[in-house]
Structure 1
Amino acid sequence: MHQFNEHHPELKGVSAFYHTEIFPLLAARDGSRREAVRKTQLYGGAIAALAVIIIVVLAIMNVHFFIPILMGAGAGIAGVYHWQTRKIKALTKDNIVGGICRYIGWRFSAEVSDIPQLTLWSHLGLLPGGFVTGDKNAGSRASFEDEMQGEAHGAQFRSLEVHLERRGKNSYNTVMRGQMMTITFPRKFLGKTVVLRDKGFLQRKTRGDMKRVGLVDPVFERIFEAYSTDQVEARYLLTPDFMQKLVDLERSVNGSQIRFGFMQGQLLIVVETPNRYEAGSMFEPLTKPEPTQKILDEIGAVYDVIDAVLKPKPYPSNANT
């Protein structure tokens, strides 16, 4: 039996749960995975052979049209792979992510139940500007999937995957893909605090009604720039321990460019990531432990962030410096 890294009390026993509840479902579907791979290789081989025949015929006719044919063959093989494996990937994602969420009392759904209002997120600088939820005439569009939510140490956690696109000349172009996370705490914050990526000499002294906040640790000062309407509360929240937990969270989801903001009773987090929670290559067994461990690491990192906010710490006395 594989022993996962159960690095939080809430995750204790998840290894046994995996092998009794999740592993059998994955093992039962591994035959379908192998059959999908076999069909992909069969149909993909036929597409590749047809492409070679066409190229040879064109070469004999002294017609140089090779690259478009190779690109078309590649797209065709990729399409066959997607078509043959899509259902297996969806079920595998639900078995692994949904199973772990059930174990800790959370919920997971591939579809998002409540679309977030992007205006606030953009106003805080967490998302590119110009994205308005549901506005089809804005020249941009947003899609959401893979919603995870539940209670963690008295706070409410919600995460969903977002894909932002802006209309180009002939098509929509991806502006950002990543995770939007909302942590709602049992108490409200006194002010508004936003932490963005450092822009070097382009940093502002103010951002709207917020003033620049200096971070205690020089390492994080070089990575981030912080602004707040309440300097004392910002220094209370943005401790080196908390900042490290955010960096750890970014690493746990294989992400980049994490930024976040405290407002009223919520911590809003955005981290740019590739498409998350996917089953991975269908050329490997569904029962491989790595995807499950990645989910456990992410959940553990979320608990760390929440604990870093709730953990009592000395309140700064230098309110106006």
Structure 2
Amino acid sequence: MRDFDSVWTEIEPWLTSLEERRQAAVKRLVNGILVAIPVGLGIVTFAILFGAPPALGLFGAGVAGVAIAGYAGLPLNALRTEVKEGLNNRLAGAFGLRYSAKPAIPAQFDSFRSHGLVPRSDRRSFEDHFEGEAFGARFELYEAELKQRRRSRRRTYYVTVFRGVLIRVEFPRTIEGVTLITRDQGIFNALDGLMRSANGRRLERIGLVDPKFERIFQVYGTDQVMARYLMTPTFMERVLALETALKGKNVRAVFDESLREGFGQGEMLLAAETGNLFEPGSLFQPLNARARVEALYRDFELIEEIIALILDPDRATGASQPS
């Protein structure tokens, strides 16, 4: 990872070179809106004068206004995409990562869903894919937005039920069976436990010795011995530290032997509701503002912190030996 000052020194001239385009694009959008307003009023007035239903006039005004503003905003939207991808590529390189705007294949998404790490969805979109290597293990991360369809008597609409990161990381311990780390359900833990299964096998609740951990999480597994082999005190400290780093964003994870790519190699899947990260900020402000890039840089620091807390035993408080 490079320090922010050196990254900013490299990025600032590029952003400055785009500032004239940004100003022109903003001006075009504002002018488009200024045109759309009288056009919309004219359509409404025309509808009233010729006896058309007011709703029809308002609908026509809305369609015209959106069309004019949308056309006027095309250069600004294009610039936003260019700035976002340019910043993410440059910052990814500074952190030793590879970036693509969208994942070619959302890694293990069906497994995230089947293990209940993310909710059921009727609409889904994926973006901002990163991959790299840390502590001798490969990992990848991408953002997901999941929506469920809801119906009322008058309309159908969609509600966002998950917005955050999905992470696949090689885990440097042999994995057998399934070990699931999910959120504590309080008085519903017993019912939750009855419903847990994986690959046709029942998941049993795993009793652990860390009361702080069990106040936040529940662990289920197909093999009590394997689950305890994975859920060492050091690893539980890491997960608690991750919960703190993400400010309690509903971290949950799974180890599943069916995800292994080779002998002695396992994978861990982790989901966290982080909101929408890796965005360039408002284009109504100067592009070459240091705060814009610094905020994005913090998102990349968060990736590094997540991976370090999973893989690096020294990041766990009081940990002195690898797990």
Q: Give the TM-score range, shorter chain.
A: 0.7 to 0.9
Contact 1:195 1:225 in 2 (8 A): yes
Residue 24 (structure 1) shift = 0.9
Contact 2:181 2:220 in 1 (8 A): yes
Q: 2:54 aligns with which of 44, 58, 64?
A: 64
TM-score normalized with structure 2 length: 0.74
CA distance in 1, matches of 2:157, 2:278: 24
Answer whether contact 1:159 1:179 (CA < 8 A) is retained.
Answer: yes
Structure 2 CA distance for partners of 1:304 and 1:175, relative to 1, 3 Å = closer
After TM superposition, the structure 1 = structure 2 runs for residues 27-66 of structure 1, keeping only pairs within 5 Å, are 27-58=16-47, 63-65=53-55
Q: Distance in 2 between matches of 1:82 and 1:182?
A: 37
Q: Quick one: structure 1 residues 73 and 262, their matched pair in 2 at CA, closer, same or farther if it must change by over 3 Å?
A: farther
Within the candidate set 129, 134, 143, 1:147 is matched to 129
Structure 1 residues 119, 303: closer, same or farther in 2, change over 3 A? same
How many residues get paired? 291
Give the Å deviation of 1:53: 2.6
Equivalent residue, structure 1, for 2:306 = 305
The change in CA–CA distance for 1:214 and 1:285 in structure 2 (over 3 A counts) is farther
- 2:255 equivalent to 1:262: yes
Is the aligned partner of 1:182 residue 2:171?
no
Match of 2:286 in 1: 285
Does the 8 A contact of 1:97 with 1:292 survive in 2? no
Distance between the aligned counterparts of 1:220 and 1:48, measured in 2? 57
1:186-227 Cα shifts (integer Å, max 9, x gaps): 433355322223333322235223322456666654443332
Answer yes or no: is the 8 Å Cα contact 1:261–1:269 preserved in 2. yes
Is it true that 1:232 corresponds to 2:220 in the alignment?
no
* Residue number in structure 2 paired with 1:195: 181
The alpha carbon displacement at 1:117 in A equals: 3.8
* 1:47–1:73 CA contact under 8 A, matched in 2: yes
Residue 15 of structure 1 is matched in structure 2 by 5
- Distance, in Å, in 1 between the alignment partners of 2:64 and 2:250 is 36
Using the TM superposition, name which of 37-46 and 193-202 deviates more.
Answer: 193-202
Amino acid at match of 2:6: A
Residue identity matched to 2:220: Y
Q: Deviations over 1:242-287 (max 9, x none)?
A: 3232342367xxxx43322233422212223544323222111112
Distance 1:189-1:290 versus aligned 2 partners, 3 A rule: farther
Which position in structure 2 is the counterpart of 1:205?
193
Q: Which runs of 5 or more residues in structure 2 are unaligned? A: 258-265
Following the alignment from structure 2 to structure 1, what is the Cα–Cα distance between the partners of residues 307 and 25? 41
Residue of structure 2 in register with 1:7 after alignment: none
What SS does the aligned partner of 1:92 have? helix
Q: How far is the alpha carbon of 1:25 from its aligned partner?
A: 0.9
Residues 185-194 or 169-178, more deviating:
169-178
* 5+ residue gaps, structure 1: 1-9, 132-139, 316-321
Q: Deviations over 1:64-116 (max 9, x none)?
A: 33764565466446634652322211221122211111123211111323342
CA contact (8 A) 1:196 1:226 kept: yes
Residues 1:121 and 1:100: Cα distance change in structure 2 (over 3 Å): same
Task: Provide the rounded CA distance (Å) in 2 between the counterparts of 1:68 and 1:273.
Answer: 37
Identity %: 26
SS at match of 1:239: helix
Q: What is the CA–CA distance in structure 1 between the aligned matches of 2:179 and 2:298, rounded to whole Å? A: 27
Deviates more, 1:164-173 or 1:117-126: 164-173
Matched AA of 1:91? E
Q: Which range moved further: 53-62 or 92-101?
A: 53-62
Q: TM-score, normalised by structure 1?
A: 0.75
* Partners of 2:67 and 2:308 in 1: CA distance: 48
- Cα root mean square deviation, aligned: 3.4
Cα deviation for residue 22 of structure 1 reads 1.1
Q: Deviation string for 1:103-139 (max 9, x for gaps)?
A: 232111113233424322212111234x7xxxxxxxx
Q: Are residues 289 and 250 of structure 1, via their aligned partners in 2, closer, same or farther at CA, if it must alter by over 3 Å?
A: farther
